[in-house]
């Protein structure tokens, strides 16, 4: 039987499938983690829940709603590009949403056949309140941002790519549950609401949730705990592909040259790579860079569970004709931004073409 719930579930599955395709290799760990999260959501939703002693209290549920609301408001200030301090908030928001589902027994998204008359009435009331609030708040934000100042208009243009989009999705999917958590009274008794159910499926669900929480922390710690894996090679007198009739010419012309290729990988599970590709030339009196050693050439490679920022990208030829190039990148863990590691690439080439240091 075709129902609106099944059509909605199919559309969401298609959207998630398209989204996940963008995380195929080289982001293998991220793709695998997203699949784990989706499977965990399915397993968790298959387990009936009760709020338990703490989440059964109205004051605790309202405190949870306040925390979620503050994080959602803070997301509005995020730009199109995230910085390392913002992802811990998103992680906390995900945990809070999980607790919200348990606190409200997922009434807001439950099928009608799974609800009694009182729960159905509460859910309908919550949806009416939630989407009225959503329509008014989103409309006011859009109106004010569009007409207030040029800066607010630019914020509106970037909103779809950054934190404001996450705020909208948070309210769209979780605002009814937040309303239910706010208006529901205290539980009369928690005798029928054990903290953890004893079925094998329930234990599996809680174990999967624990793994989803622990894995990002492990990936962050391996950023500093794992050894740096280095691969490097050089090619003498590289060909740049130009020339007549398809015959290439030497990149350095009449001088000698070396192509430098290197990569340093950091982390286990979520691997971050720092690449180096450059060509340097020498003529017996001095060594000099041709390309790949200038400020515009220093770009971090692929990163998983980490942010990369260039600290140093500097090349200089000394009085003795020796070329020295230093490229330093800082990798900072996404979830634990106080964890960071510097990766350094160094090229030292004498005027006679001797490689003193690389990478």
- Domain finish residue from 222, 245, 261: 222
Number of domains in the chain: 2
Residues 240 and 189 in one domain: no
Task: Choose among 359, 335, 327, 300: nearest CA to 222.
Answer: 335
Q: Give pLDDT, residue 334.
A: 77
Domain boundary among 171, 198, 222: 222
- Residue 276 parent element (H or E): strand 272-282
**Do 274 and 345 form a contact (C-beta atoms < 8 A)?**
yes
**Domain ends where: 174, 201, 222?**
222
pLDDT at residue 191, rounded to an integer: 45
SS3 state at 13: helix
Q: How many CB atoms lie within 10 A of CB 281?
A: 23
Q: What is the pLDDT of residue 86?
A: 67
Using CB atoms within 10 A of its CB, is residue 91 exposed (0-12), middle (13-18) or buried (19+)? Answer: middle
The CA–CA distances, whole Å, from 250 to 40, 104, 257, 281 equal 56, 70, 8, 10
Structural domain range at position 153: 4-222
Please tell me whether residue 96 adopts helix, strand or coil conformation.
Answer: helix
Same domain, 56 and 188: yes
DSSP state for residue 141 in the 8-state scheme: H
Q: For the whole prediction, is pTM greater than 0.85?
A: no
Q: Look at residue 304 and give its three-state secondary structure.
A: coil
**Average pLDDT by stretches of 10, the chain with 359 residues:** 52 56 55 78 73 74 88 74 65 84 80 79 88 86 74 65 76 88 72 54 82 83 87 79 43 84 83 86 89 86 80 90 92 82 91 89
Q: How far apart are CA 97 and CA 178, in angstroms?
A: 9
- Provide the pLDDT for residue 165: 77
């Amino acid at each position: 039987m075709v129902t609106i719930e099944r059509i909605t579930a199919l559309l969401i599955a298609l959207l998630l499938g398209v989204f996940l395709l963008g995380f195929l290799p080289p982001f293998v760990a991220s793709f695998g983690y997203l699949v784990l999260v989706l499977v965990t959501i399915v397993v968790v939703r298959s387990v009936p829940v009760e709020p338990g002693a703490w989440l059964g209290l109205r004051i605790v549920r309202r405190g949870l709603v306040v925390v979620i609301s503050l994080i959602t408001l803070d997301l509005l200030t995020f730009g199109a590009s995230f910085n390392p301090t913002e992802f811990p908030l998103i992680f906390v928001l995900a945990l809070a949403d999980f607790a919200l589902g348990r606190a409200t027994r997922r009434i807001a998204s439950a099928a009608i056949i799974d609800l009694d008359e009182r729960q159905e009435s509460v859910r309908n009331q919550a949806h009416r309140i939630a989407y009225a609030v959503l329509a008014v708040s989103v409309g006011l934000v859009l109106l004010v941002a569009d007409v207030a100042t040029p800066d607010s208009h630019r914020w509106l243009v970037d909103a779809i790519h950054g934190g404001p989009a996450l705020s909208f999705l948070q309210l769209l999917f979780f605002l009814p549950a937040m309303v239910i958590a706010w208006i529901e009274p205290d539980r009369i008794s928690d005798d029928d609401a054990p903290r953890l159910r004893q079925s094998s499926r329930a234990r599996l669900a809680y174990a999967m949730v624990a793994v989803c929480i622990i894995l990002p922390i492990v990936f962050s710690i391996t950023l500093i705990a794992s050894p740096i894996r280095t691969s490097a090679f050089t090619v003498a007198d590289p060909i740049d592909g130009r020339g007549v009739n398809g015959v290439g010419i030497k990149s350095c012309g009449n001088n000698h040259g070396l192509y430098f290729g290197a990569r340093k990988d950091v982390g286990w599970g979520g691997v971050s790579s720092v690449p180096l590709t450059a060509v340097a030339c020498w003529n017996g009196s001095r060594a000099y860079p041709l390309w790949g050693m200038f400020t515009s050439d220093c770009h971090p490679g692929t990163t998983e569970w980490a942010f990369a920022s260039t600290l140093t990208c500097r090349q200089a030829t000394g009085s003795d004709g020796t070329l020295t190039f230093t490229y330093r990148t800082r990798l900072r863990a996404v979830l634990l931004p106080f964890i960071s590691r510097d990766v350094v690439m160094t090229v030292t080439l004498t005027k006679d073409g001797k490689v003193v240091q690389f990478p």
